[in-house]
Amino acid sequence: MVSRRRSAGPGTDDEPAGPGDRGAMTVLRPTAEPGSVRLFARRRPLLTFFVLACALSWWPGLLYMAGWSSLPIAGFGPFLAALAVLGWTEGRAGIGRLLRSMVRWRVSPWAYAAALGVPALASGAAIAAVIMTGGSPDAAAAADWTAIPATLVLILLIPGIGGAWEEPGFRGYALPRLERRFGIFAGPLLLGAFWVAWHLPLFLAGQILFTDVLTIIAASVVIAGVFQSARQSVLIAMLLHATNNAVGGGYASPLFHGADSLRLGLFTAAVWWILAIAVMVLRKRA
């Protein structure tokens, strides 16, 4: 349906303008109204992202309960959620910026050193603390350190194997917006709190310890600092996350059992919080 506006040219109000009267009639095209989901996403983009991140990540829980999946969560859900919200709110330009940040490799060498070194430092210090307090590592698991590089590469490259593909959503999309709204300290902490909630299926399945609540929030602060220092390179955040999964989850966690495993979790959380406080101090000075 179109609406017409007649001008005061030749022809009466009841007669159409003649063919020679250019511009005598203006056709107003109807504008397409955005759908309800898109409209809500434009008004509440962060809330939309968080809801979608859970919805697109938790669906394997049903497969896990049926015994058809080894993981109750899909690690690439936050990435898909970010793409959806960016598509609704910023279009191809927003999606393009996110994708470019995922291949932004020209950053300071210190960013690479932090991405590889921080998780190794945290897990190494926690392992040493458990051993010094009487813990006994599993000899067979201790010999698996040679598998760390291959595990890291697989987690980094294949969505869903580890946590690296969470980063385009959590750090690439959510973190800059939370920091702009709440500041460089509250933003990462709020994201860390949601990150804990997002891990709920893993907690319920017993695949991560309750001490990881503390570790996840502290790691959110640390990753934020490394991410921002690396010119918001999602690639660096993915590398850090993949390294932590390979070193911490893939190697350190199987080393200990029972009470030693609990102590490893507590020491790991303590080290990450020390690193988080150091990052907050450095960001404040910067």
pLDDT, tens only, 143-153? 999 999 999 99
d(CA 69, CA 67): 6
Q: In which region does residue 183 sit, left (phi positive, over 0), alpha (psi from -120 to 50) or beta (all else)?
A: left
Q: Which residues of 70-94 are buried (b: 16+ CB within 10 A; e: fewer)?
A: ebbbbbbbbbbbbbbbbebeeeeeb
In whole angstroms, give the CA distance from residue 177 to residue 169. 11
18-22, 52-56, 87-91, 202-206: which range is least confident on average?
Answer: 18-22
The pLDDT-based confidence of 107 (bands split at 50, 70, 90) is very high
CA distance 39 to 54: 20
CA distance 162 to 171: 16
Nearest to 222, CA basis, from 203, 198, 249, 195: 195
pLDDT band, very low/low/confident/very high, at 130 (cuts 50, 70, 90):
very high
Please state the domain extents for the chain: 107-285
Mean pLDDT over the full length of the chain: 89
pLDDT confidence tier of residue 232, bands split at 50, 70 and 90 = very high
pLDDT at 13 over 80: no
Average pLDDT of the segment spanning 34-62: 92
Is residue 156 within 8 Å of residue 75, measured between CB atoms? Answer: no
pLDDT over 50 (residue 19)? no
Question: What mean pLDDT comes out for the span 57-72?
Answer: 94
- Per-residue pLDDT at 37: 81
Q: Does residue 26 have a pLDDT over 60?
A: no
Helical ranges in 90-147 per DSSP H:
91-101, 109-132, 139-142
Q: Locate tokens 């695949």: which residue?
A: 207
Per-residue model confidence (pLDDT) at position 34: 59
Structure tokens at 17: 């303008």
pLDDT for 238 equals 98
Q: What's the pLDDT tens digit per position in 171-219? A: 999 999 999 999 999 999 999 999 999 999 999 999 999 999 999 999 9
Q: What average pLDDT score do residues 115-129 get?
A: 97
